[in-house]
Amino acid sequence: MKLAQHYGDKPASELTLLFQRILSNNMLDWFRRRTARNALFSNLNDFESPGDDGDFDLLETLESLVDTERTESAQDTTERAQIMREIEIQISGLPLRQREAFLMRYWEEMDVAETAAAMGCSEGSVKTHCSRAVLALSKALRAKGIKP
């Protein structure tokens, strides 16, 4: 779709290379997003038990987590609140552009183009800011003993 939308006026001889570049960039974006999310947040597969048949339902998992929150100890609740507070502190300590890019991409789930338009910069800048933010957060949280 991007090829047709953005490069329909290009000569046919250039379309193959443009398509390969678009595909490559989209794959890299996908892998970067996945890596960044895994660096900070638990993988949903961690919620699955070894005996599951692969039919994982996030809503059922969230319901069971809510039930667990009602029965968890005060110490566990306090520890979880402290970890969330530390994550918030570390995010607020990021440089402005990194914080903007990180929050738009991973909390608001905006794509690279939307984030770039909202920030008034290039898509490459968004990717750079996000990468640096994830690296900084990962290092800071690990230094505090918080493991993703």
Q: Give the pLDDT score at 123.
A: 93
Asked if 102 and 134 touch (Cβ cutoff 8 Å), the reply is yes
Q: What percent of the chain has pLDDT over 90?
A: 19
Q: How is the chain split into domains, by residue range?
A: 1-38, 58-148
pTM, rounded to two decimals = 0.50
* Closest of 52, 48, 70, 80 to residue 61, by C-alpha: 48
The answer to whether domain 58-148 has CATH 1.10.10.10 is yes
Q: How far apart are CA 17 and CA 81, in angstroms?
A: 50
Residue 80 has pLDDT above 60, yes or no: yes
